[in-house]
């Protein structure tokens, strides 16, 4: 089984802090990176950014601009969701990887992490997506899992897709099964269903038509 740390790459060596800005400028314009690790005596000291390079004097060295370097990184022990969070928080397509001793190991590229995500059961296995919402103080991950499994559904994954001080939205993927039973159970537990479902819409249409017939017959 492939692990996320298998995606650590050293296709390009870290930028030496003694390189000139002109050299780094050429490097960035040949490759599609937003950031790249800077190394000083084999130690990672931060990432230099493409946006900054455009404003620096080309005859100066990277070391002259150490104060602008961004210090984000991932540990090689991190799970893929934590690595993805580092990408998102720093608006980057590359993340340096350090071990527990702070030794520089290489870097992750965003494209590779997305590929890894696509191989997870959450995306790879067939199933259905349900998006539910509930007040922050009332929702429970264990209750969500119980609702799915009590209706003979297999939970493939779930995550909080949106939240604020009042409400939480949870995106859930389950193996195909009694989807409508699961949806109705969520409703009984006062979850709002934000995703649309064919079976659910069919039942709602029947109910609307039934209500219409009742009104028609009572005229």
- DSSP assignment string, 161-204: EEE-SSEEEEEEEE-SS-HHHHHHHHHHTTPEE-S--HHHHHHH
Considering 78-82, 96-100, 208-212, the range whose residues carry the highest mean pLDDT is 96-100
pLDDT digits (tens, 9 = 90+) for 83-107: 988 998 999 999 999 999 899 999 9
Band (202; pLDDT cuts 50, 70, 90)? very low
Distance CA 48, CA 70 (A): 7
Whether 158 has a pLDDT exceeding 90, the answer reads no
Could you tell me which CATH number the domain at 121-217 has? Answer: 3.30.70.1340
**Residues whose CB falls within 8 Å of the CB of residue 165, separated by 6 or more in sequence, listed in order:** 136
Q: What percent of the chain has pLDDT over 70?
A: 87
C-alpha Rg value of the chain to the nearest Å: 25
Q: Span 4-117: which CATH code? A: 3.10.580.10
Residue 80 has pLDDT above 70, yes or no: yes
Pairwise CA distance, residues 207 & 60, whole Å:
73
- Cβ neighbors of 59 (< 8 A, separation 6 or more) are 20, 21, 22
Burial class (CB in 10 A: 0-12, 13-18, 19+), 44: buried
DSSP summary character for residue 209: H
Domains of the chain, residue spans = 4-117, 121-217
Confidence class of residue 178 from pLDDT cuts 50, 70 and 90? confident
Per DSSP, the three-state class of 147 is helix
Torsion of CA 143, 146, 150, 151, to 10 degrees: 80
Q: pTM for the full model?
A: 0.67
The answer to whether 35 and 48 are in contact (CB under 8 A) is: yes
- Close Cβ partners of 182 (under 8 Å, ≥ 6 residues apart): 130, 147, 148, 151, 153, 174
The confidence band for 113, taking pLDDT boundaries of 50, 70 and 90, is: confident
């Amino acid at each position: 089984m492939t692990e996320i740390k298998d995606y650590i790459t050293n296709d390009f060596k870290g930028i030496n802090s003694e390189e000139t800005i002109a050299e780094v400028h050429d490097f960035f314009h040949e490759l599609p990176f937003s950031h790249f690790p800077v190394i000083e005596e084999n130690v990672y000291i931060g990432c230099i950014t493409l946006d900054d390079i455009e404003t620096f004097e080309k005859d100066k060295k990277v070391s002259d601009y150490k104060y602008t370097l961004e210090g984000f990184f991932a540990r090689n022990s991190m799970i893929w969701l934590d690595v993805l969070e580092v990408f998102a928080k720093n608006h980057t397509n590359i993340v340096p990887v350090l071990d527990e001793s702070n030794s520089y190991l290489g870097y992750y590229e965003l494209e590779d992490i997305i590929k890894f995500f696509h191989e997870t059961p959450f995306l790879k296995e067939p199933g259905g997506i349900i998006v539910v919402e509930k007040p922050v103080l009332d929702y429970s991950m264990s209750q969500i899992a119980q609702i799915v499994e009590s209706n003979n559904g297999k939970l493939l994954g779930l995550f909080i897709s949106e939240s604020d001080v009042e409400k939480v939205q949870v995106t859930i993927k389950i193996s195909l099964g009694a989807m409508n039973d699961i949806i109705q159970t969520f409703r009984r537990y006062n979850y709002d269903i934000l995703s649309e479902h064919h079976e659910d819409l069919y039942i709602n249409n029947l109910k609307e038509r039934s209500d219409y017939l009742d009104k028609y017959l009572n005229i």
